[in-house]
Copies of this chain bind each other. A is one copy, B any other.
Amino acid sequence: MPPQPTRPYHHGDLRPALLRAAVEVIGQAGPAAMSLREVARRAGVSHAAAAYHFGDKAGLLTAVAAQGYRMLTEELQNARDARRSFLEVGVAYVRFAVSHRAHFEVMYRPELYRPDDAEVREARAAAAVLLYGTSSPDAGQLAAGAAAWSLVHGLATLWLNGNLPEQLGNDPEEITRIVAPYLSIPEPMTATTDACERARPNGPTKAR
């Protein structure tokens, strides 16, 4: 017989394992249905082990949120660097929300975790810099950034909740490219076609 495949008393890599399990559960059942005990079960440990590593349930969700903001920052950065278009940053935002739904849903439910956590604040601030296009926006950039952020954030959440009419199609990235050009924002770094003009005739068609 094999040499006792008994799980060792110490897991050895429990923290990341619990994080993965948590994201998995949230992805399947939503953040509200996630329980410490179910997460611990999937990682093969007692629920008290999870509480030990994260303090409490909010601590685990805080870690998920922080990881989410870091991942978002990275993807926004990639989009900005690769495409050099503000629109593509917005598309990347929506893509992140859809492809990392578990993280996204936790990030924007601050009552579930500790939004004042240092790690979270840091990661969120880094993402905000990319969303506003600059780390020290003036009043106009601030309002324009808020408009852009609001639009893609609203689009992403409405999509995730199934609140968008199905005639718009079922590809959230494509929907973003159709809808976002209704925003008339003076692009800070790129010289693309004026979104306002493009939107004028009878609404942006495909807008590719």
Contacts and interface: CB of A to CB of B under 8 A. Distances in A.
A168 interface: yes
Identical copies in the complex? 2
A147 B196 contact: no
A200 B196 contact: yes
Nearest to A145: B165
A168 B143 contact: yes
Contacts of A183: 147, 151, 182-184
Nearest to A180: B147
A149 to B, nearest CB: 7
Given A154-B150, A158-B153, A203-B140, A111 B184 contact: no
B33 A111 contact: yes
Interface string A93-133: 00000000000000011111001000000001000100010
B184 A196 contact: yes
A148 B93 CA distance: 18
Contacts of A186: 203
Interface in A134-159: 139-140, 142-144, 146-155, 157-158
B184 A199 contact: yes
Contacts of A139: 167, 203
Contacts of A152: 150, 154
Given A157-B157, A196-B196, A150 B179 contact: yes
Contacts of A153: 150, 154, 157-158
A30 B204 CA distance: 39
A122 to B, nearest CB: 15
22 contacts: A30-B111, A108-B161, A109-B161, A110-B161, A124-B163, A140-B203, A143-B178, A143-B204, A146-B158, A147-B151, A147-B179, A147-B182, A149-B154, A150-B150, A150-B154, A152-B154, A153-B154, A153-B157, A154-B154, A154-B155, A184-B196, A184-B200
